[in-house]
Structure 1
Amino acid sequence: MWRFFKRKRKSKLEKLEEQYRSILNEAFHLSKINRTQSDEKYSQAEEILKEIEKLSPLK
């Protein structure tokens, strides 16, 4: 019964994927306002994507 209350812990891969999606979303919104900040966010997202590719079991 108590297992119902335990939450599943996210793996490092899941955390990186969530961070990647949020940064891409932020970059999209910034692209309408400030292009240089948007480009910085896209470069951050690319770095996170490289880390995801390293950790991903599927290649």
Structure 2
Amino acid sequence: MFGLFKNDPAKKLRKQYSAKLEEAMQAQRNGDIRSYATLSEEAQALWAQLEPLERDKT
């Protein structure tokens, strides 16, 4: 019953990951390939943190 109020760290990381991918896509569309590469690398680092949390859930 009280598990409803617990924070889910995977949910927060998933939201950050999606935001980074969105930023990277916008940078790529604007032709800023250097920023795209940097943002993609940051998104990959977030995914590396998120993947074990997602795997433990199942």
TM-score w.r.t. the length of structure 1 is 0.77
User: Matched residues, percent identical?
Assistant: 19
- Identify the residue that residue 8 of structure 2 maps to in structure 1: 11
For structure 2, the 5+ residue unaligned runs are none
More helix by share: 2
**Whole-angstrom CA distance in 2 between matches of 1:54 and 1:16:** 12
> Could you list the runs of 5+ residues in structure 1 that have no partner in the other structure?
1-7
Name segments (4+ residues, structure 1) moved above 4 Å.
none
Q: Over aligned residues, Cα RMSD in angstroms?
A: 1.7
Alpha-carbon distance, 1:9 to partner:
5.5
Of structures 1 and 2, the larger Rg is shown by 1
